[in-house]
Every structure is written in C-alpha cells, then in structure tokens.
Chain A
C-alpha cells in the first residue's frame, strides 16, 4: 500500500531491463588470440581467430567496440524468420509468438553496436519494430478484459520489455478493481444477479486468466 500515491510504481527502468538482457549468450567470431577469461559469471574462451565462441552479450559488445570480433546475429534475427513471426502475430488475436524473452533489448543493442554484422539491417529493424507494435496492441486489447473478477492476468510468451511497460498500470488497475469489489460495498444478492449473465464470458476468460508468466523474476 505504501506505493499507492506514487505514480512511478515501475520496479525496473528500461535501462535496467537492458542490463539484465546483456547476460544473454551470443556467438562471436574473434579476430585475436586471447587466453580464457575467468569471470564470476563463468569462464569464456580461450579465443582463437576465426573460431566462433559463445560469450555474454555485454562481453561481445565490449570486444566489438574495440574491433576485436564480429557478432553473429541470433538465428531468429533473419528476414525470413521475422516475416513469419510478423504474419503469425497479425493472424491471431490472442496468441503471442515465441520470441526470445529479451528480443527488444537484444535487437536494440545489436543495432547500436553491431550494425555491420547484421545482414539487411534496415529490413530486420523495421520488421522488429512492426512485430513490437503489433504485440503491444494485442497486450492492450487483452488488458481491456480486466474486470473486478480478475485476480490476475495471464499472457503467454510476453517479453521482458513488454511486461515492464504495462506492469505499473496493471498492478494499479488490479488493486483498484479489488478495492471496489470489496464485500462491504457490494451486497451479496446483487453480486449473484450480476453474475448470472456473465457465465459465458467467464468461461472464455478462464482460458487466459492467471498470472503474467515472466521467467520468475519479473512478476507483479
């Protein structure tokens, strides 16, 4: 309740979500010879020129900035794959396509630092923007179904950034609905009368009414 009069309820800023995304692994092709790097998060390397290696994104970006490697774009970041995803997103009203949890942040980082390593970067970029817009519109339409009987909301395959944008709003809205539905204010007999015509819509709602499944760390 402490945060109720504070409009900035968001727990993560966009930059922090980006920071979390930098732990995702990417493949790089180094052009230098270097011994293995022993970090708290794991050991990477040794690196040999032209031999591909898996490293976290932050390391890849750091090496790339110094001109020591090229980054191989992830497999989903191709025109064919993204066009498929975009079509599938447009076709279905409710279902979200499976994309990496951090696709917004990864693509932003790669477009910023490794433009020359991505084939057809303009096309890929606009496809990802389109996908993001379509998905966000879908998030909004599914939020319209919130009502006083929804204790939580489940949307599968939502990505980290998308959850982060709607989190403060959804948290507050659910709280408000809960408050206005308190048993002291709504007499029981009216509740029953109100519920009868709702049976059909209740059943459809159940199919996507639980909790934002968000890899554990980003729940409401």
Chain B
C-alpha cells in the first residue's frame, strides 16, 4: 500500500499487455475491432495491465510476455545496454517488468531487469555529472522514467553547486528599493 499514491506506479499499470481470452464474454466493449459486444474464446486483445491482471485472477484470460521483454530486446541489452532506447520500448520498463514477471511466471525477467539497470547505471553516472550544462544532450531521451529521475537528481545537484560556486549577487535588492517615489498630487 505504500505505493498507493505514487503516480509513476499508477501510470505503469496502464501499460498494455496482449492477452488471449479463455472464456467467451458478452456485453463488453473491450475489443474495439469486433462488430458485436461479445468476445470469443481465443481472441487476442491488448488490455492495460490492471485490467488484464484482474481478468487473469478470474481465469478469463491468459497473458503473453509483452513485446518489450522479447528476445530481440534482450539481445540488444546484452550487446550494448547503454545505447538501447528503452524509453521508446516502455517508459516504465523496470516497474512494468517487476509487475509482470510474477503474472506471466517468467523467471528470466527479474535478472534481465537487474543486469540492464546495473550496466546502464554506470553510463547515467558518468554522463549526469559531466554534462551538467549541455541541456541539449540527446542522452536523456534514451532513459526510462526511473533512470531519468536518477539522471536529473545528479544533474540538478551538480548545477546547483556550480551556481553557488560562481556566486553572483549574495543579496538581492528588494524591488521596492531604489524606485523613484511618485510625486503626490
């Protein structure tokens, strides 16, 4: 329950999963491509995770492993994890992965997440502190939400320190001071 108000956790629940219906369901408009409001057994539909999870608990659907954890992505992460654009695959890669792993009972997702984060972390570390002023850098657009938080926290503390070191006026003049008094009519 500690994450109940965490907005990232809520948005991560919105990621779509493809599911296969095990039961025929009538009277629902879940599948926009079907002509009637009925869903046949065996039809493949993309649903948000929160709905898919509830339906799976009722054994109405079976979940497939989402495409951002497929073999192709895994190979890319193994080859050069720092350059993989995880944001385009799934902006909540880690949160989504840790939610989906027990549901699809795929034991390889956990280690995949850990190894991906471990190797990408080093890149975040070196880039965040050195590139404090190059705001136009393309690097953050490759990062997932969680990595981006990490990157920004390092960058903002470094920028704050540089600002303090450069100094500038220590006391700011209040705007009311030095203004010419209007002649009283």
Contacts and interface: CB of A to CB of B under 8 A. Distances in A.
Interface of A: 1, 4-5, 7-10, 13-15, 18, 108, 112, 136, 140, 143-144, 146-148, 161, 164-169, 172-173, 176-177, 179-182, 184-187, 190, 194
A187 B149 contact: no
Nearest to A180: B114
23 contacts: A1-B2, A1-B6, A4-B8, A5-B8, A7-B152, A13-B160, A14-B163, A14-B164, A14-B165, A140-B126, A140-B129, A144-B122, A146-B121, A164-B161, A165-B157, A168-B154, A169-B153, A169-B157, A177-B117, A180-B114, A184-B101, A185-B111, A187-B107
Nearest to B113: A180
B98 interface: yes
B167 to A, nearest CB: 7
A108 B153 contact: no
A186 B160 contact: no
Contacts, number: 108
Contacts of A176: 94, 117, 121, 146, 150
Interface bracket on B: 35 or more
Contacts of A140: 125-126, 129
A35 B113 CA distance: 67
B161 A165 contact: yes
Interface in B133-185: 146, 149-150, 152-154, 156-158, 160-161, 163-165, 167, 170
Contacts of A146: 121
B109 interface: yes
A186 to B, nearest CB: 5
Contacts of B163: 14
Contact of B157 (A5, A10, A112, A187): A10
Contacts of B110: 180, 184-187
A173 B3 contact: no
B99 to A, nearest CB: 10
A185 B98 contact: yes
Contact of A180 (B94, B102, B122, B156): B94
Contact of A190 (B2, B111, B129, B154): B111
B39 interface: no
B114 A186 contact: yes
Contacts of A168: 153-154, 156-157
A147 to B, nearest CB: 6
